[in-house]
Amino acid sequence: MAQSGVVYESSDGLRWRVDVRNPGSSNALVVFTHPDPQRTRENRYANYVWKGVESQNVSGRIDPQAVLRSLDSEALNRLFRRSMPMTGRPTIGGRPV
């Protein structure tokens, strides 16, 4: 189940919804959902590595809300820069390659 509640504004002014999905014991997917529902092919994802005590328990799961709370603007910028398209053609700087 995805946990949301954070918005990231990219350099081009788009306001992406940020979700945390598939939490494991030490990582989770951070998904950036495009604001236009007709452009879901442009959704992006990045892997977030959790360094809390839960990461030492292989059967544990990190709390998606805790991940969201830990994502300040610098962390979101870094994740967005490293993010990859979820579907479709790969892009560089938002342009299809």
pTM of the model: 0.80
pLDDT, one tens digit per residue, over 19-31 is 999 888 888 999 9
* pLDDT for the residue 12: 92
Tokens of 63: 């709390």
Distance CA 37, CA 29 (A): 20
The H or E element spanning position 77 is helix 73-82
31 to each of 26, 57, 58, how far by Cα in Å?
17, 24, 23
* pLDDT for the residue 50: 82
pLDDT, one tens digit per residue, over 34-75 is 999 888 888 999 999 987 766 667 777 888 998 999 999 999
Which residue in 6, 1, 4, 11 sits closest to 93, CA to CA?
Answer: 11
- Asked if 71 and 30 touch (Cβ cutoff 8 Å), the reply is yes
- Asked if 34 and 16 touch (Cβ cutoff 8 Å), the reply is yes
